[in-house]
Structure 1
């Protein structure tokens, strides 16, 4: 993807998505890369590969990374079972959570995160804040982010394999899914999310949810036309209206988190000295070529 000097392009990296993806890719087969003192580094090693591959592919002028800080957020207060089905992070990954932020910082890339909010909310807020100044690309594996797509904000979904990306704009989102960005949330409100452990409307899956949204436009549109629906669907919705509203709230990425991003402070220029020091510390000799 070409980028002219006069045209700012900011890559916002979903740090958690990249780190988890890297951990599982790099521990496939049971081998965990470690430093000579026993510190696990496999996820960070893979994270750096993913990061530099995306930088090469999308040529950003500006770059930043967002993270979850702590396990509990305002969504847990809204719904105590939110993400309650998530397994504990693998033991070898835990020490890498803090260390990867040090690595990102050593590269000269700002880290962002706010306690009580998810990385998604920080990404959404910053994307909206800066999109009047720059084209925004969000790098993630999380399809929930598609709700953030606008004419100035694209979402890059990392797919299986190296350098395999799908870039979503309002046009490509409609072409593939026949949904507008805001309707991603309405879909989740009906079908729920097993990964995040909220049910939506019990008995309504993706196919029915899509049909409802396509016909009536939104959750509100469906509720205003309940009498038009088959009796079984109507009953399911009426029996789960509270959860429908709650699921919509849980699925909605906040864009008003108390966080501020100054675009000038995110200008991408690698800090080679500190990056080299950190790579040597982590025994990443094979990655030094990436930092020039």
Structure 2
């Protein structure tokens, strides 16, 4: 089965920015910690996950439909550091020089783009999808054809979540992560959830009744203390569901031919890496080690072409 790797640029950039020291600068003084970590994580993903296809999604610095539904959405998050914002154009340069197609869509988040592309690609019997992200929101997308890869950080190892791994940790189906957030909320995105319902109660309700809708259809069977909270917060619960749900039906199409990890302009890529002083990453470029071996073969056979892996 061929593998498609979908990358959440926003999540990876944020993780890299906070994981790599701000001492990572060029001799000219340009801060590069986020874009260095971003590039390193992507190159590691190529090596470990060995995809045939890849695409990447970026967030736009504009409000989304979630902000229109709920003004408080992500309102408690601190303002993005200018030092990170200034590195985003460099991330685009890296993606372009590596010849990876990228997607943005006004009014939606990178999660929605990835959700749509993943579900559509998963309909192809020959394709397996892996989502590379630092955001666990994407776990709701897991099914028999879609996995989520969370890169390691510090002493924390990388994690590959398939359906079995998710069930072992959360005790309910991946899709029910939306219902879980509708009940327990999500402080990182400022999704309110039902006041007074915590992770344990939310998990118990979902494992017993299933969806949020079924929980409300069975209110008479739920203990009074919890039932009162659910009745009082019903509108908030369903609003929270809408905020937590990743969209999977956007008008987007992935061109697999253009998404093949193919030969890129290695000279231009190395030139950009040298400009950014990413010397240690040059040796990790896809095909770089093979290129040295291929030089001998090309001398023997001038018609031999160099592959990506």
TM-score tier, shorter chain, comes to over 0.9
CA offset at residue 270 of structure 1?
A: 4.7
* 1:114 is the counterpart of 2:105: yes
Q: Are 2:193 and 1:206 aligned?
A: no
Partner of 2:279: 285
Distance 1:270 1:163, change over 3 A: farther
Q: Distance in 1 between matches of 2:50 and 2:198?
A: 39
5 Å matches for 1:262-281? Answer: 262-271=255-264, 272-281=266-275
Q: What is the alpha-carbon distance in structure 2 between the residues aligned to residue 245 and residue 85 of structure 1?
A: 21
1:247 Cα deviation after fit:
0.2
Q: CA RMSD in A?
A: 1.5
Question: Alignment partner for residue 41 of structure 1, among 18, 23, 32?
Answer: 32
Residue 297 of structure 2 is matched in structure 1 by: none
User: Does the CA contact (< 8 Å) of 1:130 and 1:263 recur in 2?
Assistant: no
Q: Does 2:94 match 1:100? A: no
The yes-or-no answer on 1:256 pairing with 2:245 is: no
**Structure 1 equivalent of residue 232 of structure 2:** 239
Aligned to 2:306: none
In 2, distance between residues paired with 1:257 and 1:120?
11
Q: Gapped runs of 5+ residues in structure 2?
A: 289-309
**Distance in 2 (alpha carbons) for counterparts of 1:260 and 1:190:** 33
Count of matched residue positions in the alignment of Structure 1 and Structure 2: 283
Tell me, in whole angstroms, the C-alpha distance in 2 between the residues paired with 1:32 and 1:256: 42
* 2:50 matches 1:54: no
- TM-score if structure 2 supplies the norm length? 0.88
Deviation at 1:157, TM superposition (A): 2.2
Answer yes or no: is 1:73 the counterpart of 2:73.
no
Indicate which of 136, 141, 161 corresponds to 1:143: 136
Aligned-partner Cα distance in 1 for 2:132–2:99: 18
**Which of 201, 211, 222 is residue 215 of structure 2 equivalent to?**
222
1:146 to partner: Cα distance? 1.1
TM-score (norm 1): 0.93
Is contact 1:75–1:82 with CA below 8 Å preserved after alignment?
Answer: yes
Higher-Rg member (1/2): 2
Gaps of 5+ in 1: 1-6
Instruction: Provide, for residues 228-282 of structure 1, a one-character-per-residue CA deviation record: whole Å limited to 9, x for no partner.
Output: 1111111111111000000000000001122221111111125112211211221
1:196 aligned onto 2:189: yes
Distance 2:175 2:219 in 1: 21
**Residue 189 of structure 1 contacts residue 244 of structure 1 at CA under 8 Å; is this kept in 2?**
yes
1:197-249 C-alpha deviation (Å, 9 max, x unpaired) = 12110010111000000111111111011111111111111111000000000
Please, which of 146, 157, 170 is the counterpart of residue 177 of structure 1?
Answer: 170
Distance in 1, Cα, partners of 2:191 & 2:129: 30
